[in-house]
Amino acid sequence: MSKAVTTTSEEGFSATNDIRDFEQTIDPNGEEAPDTLEALLAAYGSCYVPALRVGGQQRDVEDLGKIEIETTGELNDDDKLESIQFDIRVEADVDDETGEKILERAFELCKVHDALKESLHAETSFEGGAF
Domain boundaries, the chain: 1-34, 36-127
Q: 67-106 pLDDT, tens per residue?
A: 999 999 999 999 999 999 999 999 999 999 999 999 999 9
CB contact at 8 A, 52 and 90: yes
Q: Over range 42-69, report the average pLDDT.
A: 97
pLDDT at 131: 78
CA distance 76 to 100: 28
Q: What's the whole-number mean pLDDT along residues 121-125?
A: 84
Average model confidence (pLDDT) for the chain? 94
Assess whether pLDDT exceeds 80 at residue 120.
Answer: no
Domain 36-127 has CATH 3.30.300.20: yes
The model's pTM is: 0.88
Pick from 107, 99, 85: nearest CA to 127: 99
Find the helix or strand (DSSP H, E) in which 38 lies. helix 36-58
Question: What pLDDT was estimated at residue 10?
Answer: 92
Instruction: Lowest mean pLDDT of 19-28, 100-109, 122-131, name the range.
Output: 122-131
Distant-in-sequence, close-in-space partners of 61: CB < 8 Å, separation ≥ 6: 92, 94, 98, 102
Over residues 39-65, mean pLDDT = 97
